[in-house]
Structure 1
Amino acid sequence: MADKIKSFFQKKKANTKFMKAGKGYKLTDSTSTICSSTESREPIRRTEPTEEAKIAGQAALARLEAKKTDKPRFNTSYAAIQARVKRELELERKAQQNLQQTENTALKEKKDRIEDPSIFAVTDVYFRCPYLSDEILLRDEWKKKIKEFLYEQVKGEEAGLTACLIIQSCNTGKEKIESCVETLGKYLDNIINNPDVEKYWKIRMCNRIFQEKVLPIEGALDFLKAAGFEQKKLLHNENEEDFLVWNPNNCNIENLIILDEALKSAEPIPIELDRNLQVLMPSQARMRNELPSSFFTITPEEIKREQQLRSEAVERNQMLRTKAMREKDEQRALRRYKFAVLRIKFPDGIILQVFFSLVTPDGIKLIEECYDKTLLELRLIPTAILEFSWNTTDKENMPKGYLKEDVLSYIQAV
C-alpha cells in the first residue's frame, strides 16, 4: 500500500511538470518560431492548493508515518503470557524482599538503640506478694510461684478452700472464671436445697455445659472432689459413661454450705506493685528516660476489652454527647495505662524516682484539692516530673538536704 501511494504522488508531480511546459508544437514548425514564441511567453505560475487539500495531504503523510513506526503486536500465546507473568511476579517478589530487609534493618537498629538497659528509667515492672513472702519478682514469676504453692496446699486439710483460690488465681479470662463458679454453685445449691433428691447427686461428665464451663478451668475438679464427689462409671441410655457422684459420707450438707459460700466469695491471691525506689543524680535522670516494652504490655483479655471499647466509641461518635459524656470518654481513654513512674526533683538537684500502680500535666501546681485525686485524674501518666519547693520566702532557714540518709543510700554510682 505504501508503494502505491508513493507512485501516485510521483505521477502527480510528473503531470504538473508536463502542464507547466506550455502549449505543444508540431515537428514541422521551424525552430526559430518555437524559440521566439517560447521566449516571448511568460512562465505559468503554480496555483496554491486549497486548505482542504493541505489537510488531506497532511493526514495521508501522518498515516504513512504511522505505518512505518507501528509497534509489533503483543504476543498472545499462552507461553508468552506465562513468561511475562513470571517476570512480573519475580520483580514484585524482589521488591517485597528489599522492603522487608529495609524494615528489618530499621527495627533492628531501633531495638539495639531502645533495649540498651542503661537508658531505661526502670528495668522492668516488679511485684510483691505479702501472703507468701517478701520476694520481689516479675508478674509471671509470681503467677508460677502462687500456682505451685496452691497445688501443694490442695493436698492438705483445706482442699476445698484451696481449690477456690486455684480457680480464681490460676486461670485467665474473667468471664470463664465467673461462668465456672456459677455452674459449680448450681451443682452445690441443688444438693443443699434438695438433699434427698438423688438426681442432683450426679454430674454427667459428657454433658456439654460441664465440658465447656467446668472441665477446662483449673481447680474445678479439685473443688468437686473436696465437695464429696467421686468419679464413677454409670449406665446412661444403655451406655456406660463417666459421672461425678456426690457421696454424703465424704462431705455433709454443712460443709457443702461452707464450700458454696467460699466459692462465691473467693478472690485471686493479690500481688502488690513494688515501688522500685531509686535516687538519681541529674546526669542519670537525663540519660535514663526510656521505658521498657514490658511497661506497656497488655493481656489478651485487655486487648479484647480495648476492641470492645473502640466499637462502642464508633457508636458514640454517631450521636450527640453532653460535656459529662465527653469527659467520661476521655477518662476511659486514659485508663489504657496501668503504671506510672514519677520523679520528684528537689532544689538541690537530687531526683527521687518512684513506681505507682494506676487506679497533671507539667507546669500545674498541685494544691490541696488535688490530694484526693488519683494519678490518673491528675494525668501524671505514664511518666511525669514533679518539682518540690518550699512554700516560704525565708531562704536562710530552708534545709540543705531533703531526703533521709537511708533513702540517700539508694543513689547508684554513675
Structure 2
Amino acid sequence: MADRIKKFFQKKKVDAKFKMAGPGHKLSESTLSSNSSDTSKKAAPAKRVGLSEESKVAADAALARLQQKRENPSFNTSLAAIQAQVKKELENERANARTSESTSKSTHTEQEPREVEEDVPRNFAASGVYFKCPLISNDILPRDEWKKNIKTFLYEQLEEERGLTACLMIQSCNSNREKVDTCVETLCKYLENIVTHPEEDKFQKIRMSNRVFTERVQPIEGSMELLLAAGFTQMKQPNPEGADEDYLVFQKENVPSVESLVGLIDALRTAEPIQLELDRNLQVLLPSQAAHKVQLPPSFYALSPEEIKREQQLRTEAIERSQMLRTKAMREKDELREMRKYKFAIIRVRFPDGILLQGTFSVYERYNEVHEFVRENLEHDLPFVLNMPTGHKLIPEEDANKTLIDLRLVPAIILTFAWHSSVAEQIHNSPNKDVYLKPEVMVLVQEV
C-alpha cells in the first residue's frame, strides 16, 4: 500500500508537468498548416500605442534610479567588496566596544531608565518558519498555508481516486491524532463486518444518528468520502420506531466486489499524514546584521510569547528563593524544561572572515543535520569543527545523534567555524584560504 501511495503522488507530479508544458501537437499534423496558421497570426500585429504622459514620467523615474544605482552602488556582492565590508564592520564593533567600556568606567551617575521600544519585524532573526512538501510541489510556505494547499490538493483528487484520497484526507486534514485513530478503527470495523458477514442486513447500513457514528466518525474530515468510496449511499429509511431517518446503506453494485473492501481497509490502516519538511531558510549575514537580527518570531515558540512571559513572572520569585538549595541536576532539568517551550532554533555559524551562515532547525533535530547544513554550503569539502561559545568542540563522531536540546543549542546560538587540525595547515598555505562559502551562497548576503 505504501508503494501505491507513492505512485499516486508521482503520477500527480507528472500530470502537473504535462499541464505546464502547454498544448500538444499530433505527429501527423502538417507543419505547413501550422506554419501558415502562425503566419496568419503574425500577419496582423497589434498596433502599438504611444506611452501616456503618466507612463513616460514613471519610465523616466525608473531610468534615473537605475543611473543613480550605477553611479553610486550602495552594495557590491563581489567577494572582495564583501570582505572589505566585513572587515570595516568588525573594526567598528571593536571601536564601539572600547568606547562603551571607557564610558562605563568614567560614568558613575545614575541614568534614568528608558522605555523599551517595541520590537519591529526587521529585528527578527527570521521572518518565520517555512516548510516544503516535495510530494505535492516545490513551493516553500508557512505551515498554515501548506495545510490549506494539501486540503485543496486532496479534494481535487477525489474524482479520480476516491478511496485512497479519502484515507489521506483522514490522516492529513485532522489535527487530533487520537480522534483520527479512533475514527480509523471504527471505519475498519464497519468494512470488516461487511467482508466477514456479507449477507447480514444489520451490517449493511449505518444509522447516521447513532452515537458512535456521530462522535467517532462524522466529525473527522474525509470519513464520509471514505464510506462513499466503500459503496455506501446516503438515503432515507424507516428507523425501528417507524419514522424516516438518514442512513448510510451499503450497495454491492457500487464496488467491484465485497473483497475489494479488503484493500480499502489496508489503505486505512497504513496511510500516513502528508509530511512537511522544514526549510532551512538559509541566510548569509554581515556582522552588523547579525547584531540587530536577534528577536525570534512568534512561530518559534511552542507557547505564545505572552504565555511564556506570564509563566516566567509567576516562577521567577520561587526559583530565586530555592536557587541555593537546588542541585545541579535539578537546575539542568529546569533548563531543559525551559528549552522545550521552543519548537525551532536559529543556528548561526560565524566564519573567520566575519560572515555568518544562518539556518532554521527543529529543536529535536540532531547535530549531524547542522553539520551537514554547513558542509553542503562550503566551497571546499574538507573536515571542520564547530565550537560553542563555551569553547566546547562539537565532534560529529560523538555528538551526531544528540538533539539540539541535548546540546543546549536552543533557542539560538552562534557557533564558530574552524578547519579541522588535519587540514588546517593545508588550508593556511592555500591561496584561497579566506574563501569559505560557495559563491552562490555568498551572493545571498543581504544589503545593509
With normalisation by structure 1, the TM-score equals 0.63
Q: Which amino acid aligns with 1:353?
A: Q
Amino acid at match of 2:418: S
Question: Are 1:186 and 2:189 counterparts?
Answer: yes
Change (3 A) 1:326 1:285: closer
Measure the CA separation in 2 of the matches of 1:125 and 1:377: 22
Stretches of structure 2 lacking an aligned partner (at least 5 in a row): 1-114, 309-327, 365-386
Answer yes or no: is 1:337 the counterpart of 2:366.
Answer: no
SS of residue matched to 2:227: helix
Instruction: Specify the code of the residue in structure 2 equivalent to 1:207.
Output: N
Q: Distance in 2 between matches of 1:162 and 1:326?
A: 49
8 Å Cα contact 1:361-1:378 kept in structure 2: no
Structure 1 residues 198-218: Cα deviation after superposition (integer angstroms, max 9, x where no partner)? 211110101011111111111
The corresponding residue for 2:254 is 250
SS of the aligned residue for 2:434 comes to coil
The separation in 2 between residues aligned to 1:298 and 1:227, in whole angstroms, is: 41
The aligned amino acid for 2:301 is F
2:445 is paired with a residue of what secondary structure?
A: coil
Does the CA-based 8 Å contact 2:388-2:414 persist in structure 1?
Answer: no
Give the superposition deviation at 1:413. Answer: 0.8
Corresponding letter in the other structure for 1:291 = L
Q: How far did 1:135 drift? A: 0.9
The one-letter code sitting in structure 2 at the alignment partner of 1:380 is L
> In the aligned structure 2, how far is the partner of 1:247 from the partner of 1:329?
59
Residue from 225, 250, 268 that aligns with 2:228: 225
Aligned equivalents of 2:163 and 2:337: distance in 1?
A: 38
The answer to whether residue 130 in structure 2 is matched with residue 130 in structure 1 is no
Rounded to whole Å, the distance in 1 between the matches of 2:124 and 2:283 is: 13
Q: 1:361, 1:379 within 8 Å by CA — same for their partners in 2? A: no
Partner of 2:278: 273
Change (3 A) 1:294 1:153: same
Specify the SS of the correspondent of 2:262. Answer: helix
Instruction: Tell me which amino acid in the other structure corresponds to 1:171.
Output: N
User: What amino acid is the match of 1:154?
Assistant: L
Q: Contact 1:163–1:220 (CA<8 Å) still a contact in 2?
A: yes
Q: Distance in 1 between matches of 2:411 and 2:332?
A: 19
Query: C-alpha displacement at 1:176, in angstroms?
Result: 1.4
1:362 alignment partner, one of 382, 389, 400: 389
Give the Cα–Cα distance (whole angstroms) in 1 for the partners of residues 265 and 357 of structure 2. 48
Is this contact kept in 2: 1:278–1:410, CA < 8 A? yes
1:230-245 to 2 correspondences below 5 Å: 230-237=233-240, 238-245=242-249
Contact 2:234 2:247 in 1 (8 A): yes
- Aligned 1:21-40 pairs, distance under 5 A: none
1:263 to 268, 289, 297: 268
Quote how far apart the aligned CAs of 1:337 are: 2.3
From 374, 380, 383, the equivalent of 2:403 is 374
Task: Report the counterpart of residue 435 of structure 2 in structure 1.
Answer: 401
- Kept after mapping to 1: 8 A contact 2:302/2:340: no
Query: What percent of counterpart residues are identical?
Result: 53
- Summarize the Cα distance change of 1:245–1:396 in structure 2 as closer, same or farther, 3 Å threshold: closer
**Per-residue deviation, 1:336:** 3.4
The residue that corresponds to 2:414 in the other structure is 385
1:278·1:353 contact (CA, 8 Å) conserved in 2? yes
Q: Deviations over 1:255-277 (max 9, x none)?
A: 21111111111111111111111
When normalised by structure 2's length, the TM-score is 0.59
**What residue in structure 1 maps to residue 357 of structure 2?**
352
Deviation at 1:163, TM superposition (A): 0.6
Distance 2:334 2:205 in 1: 49
Contact 2:162 2:229 in 1 (8 A): yes
- Contact 1:340/1:356 (<8 A) preserved: yes
Question: Could you say which residue in structure 2 is the equivalent of 1:288?
Answer: 293
> Structure 1: which 5+ runs fail to align?
1-108, 304-322
Whether contact under 8 Å (1:160, 1:226) holds in the other structure is yes
What is the letter of the counterpart of residue 398 of structure 2?
E
Secondary structure of 1:362's aligned partner: coil
Larger Rg: 1
**Partner AA of 1:376 in structure 2:** I
Match of 1:163 in 2: 166
Q: Determine helix, strand or coil for the equivalent of 1:402.
A: coil
Query: Is the 8 Å Cα contact of residues 276 and 355 (structure 1) preserved in structure 2?
Result: yes
Give the residue type in structure 1 aligned to 2:187.
L
How far apart, CA to CA, are the structure 2 residues paired with 1:376 and 1:149? 35
* Mapped contact 1:233–1:242 kept (Cα < 8 A): yes
- CA–CA distance in structure 1, aligned partners of residues 393 and 146 of structure 2: 38
1:216-264 per-residue CA deviation (whole Å, 9 max, x = no partner) reads 1111101000000011211212221111111111122232111111111
Q: One-letter code of the match for 2:393?
A: K
**Number of residue pairs matched?**
282
Counterparts of 2:168 and 2:334 in 1: how far apart (Å)? 35
Is 1:213 the counterpart of 2:242? The answer is: no
Conserved 8 A contact 1:233-1:241? yes
Alpha-carbon distance, 1:356 to partner: 1.0
| SS at structure 2 position matched to 1:206 | coil
Contact kept, 8 Å, 1:228 with 1:247, in 2: the verdict is yes
1:358 positional shift: 2.7
Residues 334/202 of structure 1: CA separation in 2 closer, same or farther (3 Å cut): same
The one-letter code of the counterpart of 1:161 is L
Mapped to 1, the partners of 2:174 and 2:212 lie a distance apart of 18
**Larger RCO (CA under 8 A, 6+ residues apart):** 2
Deviation at 1:329, TM superposition (A): 8.6
2:208 maps to a residue whose letter is: M
